[in-house]
Amino acid sequence: MPQDNDDRRTVDTTIIPVIEETARISTRQVEAGRVRVHLRTEVGQQRLQATLRSEAVTVEHRPIGRELAPGEPLPVPHDEEDGRVTVIPVLEEILVVEKRLVLREELRLRRTSSLEDVDHAVDVQRQHAEVERLPPADPQDPSNPGHPQ
């Protein structure tokens, strides 16, 4: 076989296709059922009872007008009559040639207590929920409230 200066060779090429598969996951919303909730509110009266305590204080000014002796301790507030009366001494310092404390008066605070029964009606509310199960909406039924318009 004569040889050519071109030294060409014939190459046979075979094409092999490469195939790739992919997987995809998707979700969709499916109505499985519905519920209807009715709230009912009742209003009724409830009686509340309590015993209320109140205290009143009266102030009695009792003039004393006694000069304290030198070195005599100062009078201090104290209770009398089983704690129902609190005595508060009121002192006044007067200037003579020397200072002297004069017990001018006492304030006598008298406590009195009273009890009062009260009975008052108040409105109270209570709600009850009723749950009704409904079938899923049929998208093809135009009378269904979930049907698209």
Question: Could you tell me if residue 38 is inside a domain?
Answer: no
Q: Is the pTM of this model over 0.75?
A: no
Tens digits of per-residue pLDDT, 59-81? 999 999 999 999 999 999 999 99
Structurally, how many domains does the chain consist of? 1
Question: Could you tell me if residue 89 is inside a domain?
Answer: yes
Question: Could you tell me if residue 71 is inside a domain?
Answer: yes
pLDDT given for residue 142 in this prediction: 63
Question: Could you tell me if residue 1 is inside a domain?
Answer: no
Question: Could you tell me if residue 6 is inside a domain?
Answer: no
Question: Could you tell me if residue 59 is inside a domain?
Answer: yes
Domain interval for residue 81: 48-122
Tens digits of per-residue pLDDT, 45-60? 999 999 999 989 999 9
Question: Could you tell me if residue 22 is inside a domain?
Answer: no
Tokens of 32: 């499985």
Question: Could you tell me if residue 135 is inside a domain?
Answer: no
